C-alpha cells in the first residue's frame, strides 16, 4: 500500500537506451503546464552524495564485489529518499524519478544473481518502505537497446558493458515484476513513437492527479 502523502511519486524503469530520460523530460514539461510543482531526479546520483556514489558504481575502473555494489546503490537510495524525495512528496510535489528499487531487483538481484527478494528487502529497509504510486516500464529488447546505445555514445558504464545475457535477464525480471504488480506498473513498448509513449504516460498520470 502506498504511503499517505499529498504528492505523487512516479518512477521510470527499463534497460539503458529505452528512452527513460526523454519521457521523463516530456512528462515534467506537461505537468508544469498543468500548474504542478515537479521534481525530476534519478538514481544513482540525485544528490551531491549520490553523484559521488554514481561515479563509483558506474565508472570505477576495476571490479566491485556484487554485494558491495548492491550496498552502494542502497546507500545512495537511502540518502536520496530521506533528503530529497520524501520531503518533496510531503510538500505535495510530483516526483519523476529515473530508476528506483526495481532497477536494483533487476540488475543486482537477477543480473548479479544476488537474490531478488534480498535486494528488494534491502531497498525497502533503506527507504523506510516507500513505493512509487506509478512505475512506467519502457520495455525494449536487449539487442535493440544495444543498437541505440552504439549510435548515441562511445563511452559505456560498467552495467552497459555487461553481456547480452545479463541484459536479457534484467529485461525478463522487469516484466515479471510488472506482471506481479499490475496496479503499480504501466508497461509500454519502447519501440513506439516518442509521442505515442508520451500520450500513454500522460493518460495514466492524469488518472492519478
Residues ≥6 apart with Cβ < 8 Å to 110: 116, 169, 170, 172, 173
Burial class (CB in 10 A: 0-12, 13-18, 19+), 87: middle
Residue 4: predicted pLDDT: 81
Q: What is the DSSP letter of 93?
A: P
Confirm whether pTM is higher than 0.85. Answer: yes
Would you say the C-alpha torsion 115, 57, 16, 24 has a positive or negative sign? positive
Q: Tell whether the torsion through CA atoms of 110, 111, 115 and 120 is positive or negative.
A: negative
Q: What is the pLDDT of residue 131?
A: 97
Give 100-112 as a DSSP string.
-HHHHIIIIIIIT
Angle between helix 48-59 and 66-80 (nearest 10): 160
* Model pLDDT, residue 59: 80
Per-domain boundaries in the chain: 8-206
pLDDT along the chain (209 residues), means of 10: 82 90 97 97 94 88 87 95 98 97 91 90 96 96 69 60 77 94 96 97 97
- Helix/strand/coil percent split, the chain, to 5: 55, 15, 30
pLDDT of residue 92: 97
Instruction: Tell me which residue has cell 525530476.
Output: 40
C-beta separation of 106 from 173 below 8 A: yes
13: β partners: 137
Furthest-apart CA atoms within the chain: distance in Å: 46
Q: Distance between CA 86 and CA 153 in Å, rounded? A: 34
pLDDT at 1: 45
Residue-level pLDDT at 113:
84
The CATH fold assigned to 8-206 is Rossmann fold (3.40.50)
pLDDT of residue 144: 77
Residue 93 to residue 120: CA distance in whole angstroms: 25
Amino acid at each position: 500500500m502506498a504511503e499517505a502523502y499529498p504528492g505523487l511519486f512516479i518512477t521510470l524503469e527499463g534497460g539503458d537506451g529505452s528512452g527513460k530520460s526523454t519521457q521523463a523530460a516530456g512528462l515534467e514539461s506537461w505537468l508544469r503546464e498543468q500548474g504542478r510543482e515537479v521534481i525530476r531526479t534519478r538514481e544513482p546520483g540525485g544528490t551531491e552524495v549520490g553523484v559521488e556514489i554514481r561515479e563509483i558504481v558506474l565508472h570505477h575502473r576495476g571490479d566491485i564485489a556484487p554485494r558491495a555494489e548492491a550496498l552502494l546503490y542502497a546507500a545512495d537510495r537511502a540518502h536520496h529518499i530521506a533528503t530529497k524525495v520524501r520531503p518533496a512528496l510531503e510538500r505535495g510535489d510530483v516526483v519523476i524519478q529515473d530508476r528506483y528499487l526495481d532497477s536494483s531487483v533487476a540488475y543486482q538481484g537477477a543480473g548479479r544473481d544476488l537474490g531478488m527478494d534480498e535486494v528488494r528487502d534491502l531497498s525497502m529497509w533503506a527507504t523506510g518502505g516507500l513505493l512509487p504510486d506509478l512505475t512506467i516500464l519502457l520495455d525494449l529488447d536487449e539487442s535493440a537497446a544495444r543498437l541505440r546505445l552504439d549510435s548515441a555514445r562511445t563511452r559505456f558504464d560498467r552495467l552497459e558493458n555487461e553481456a547480452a545475457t545479463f541484459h536479457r535477464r534484467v529485461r525478463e525480471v522487469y516484466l515479471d515484476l510488472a506482471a506481479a504488480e499490475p496496479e503499480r506498473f504501466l508497461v509500454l513498448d519502447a519501440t513506439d513513437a516518442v509521442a505515442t509513449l508520451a500520450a500513454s504516460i500522460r493518460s495514466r498520470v492524469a488518472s492519478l492527479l
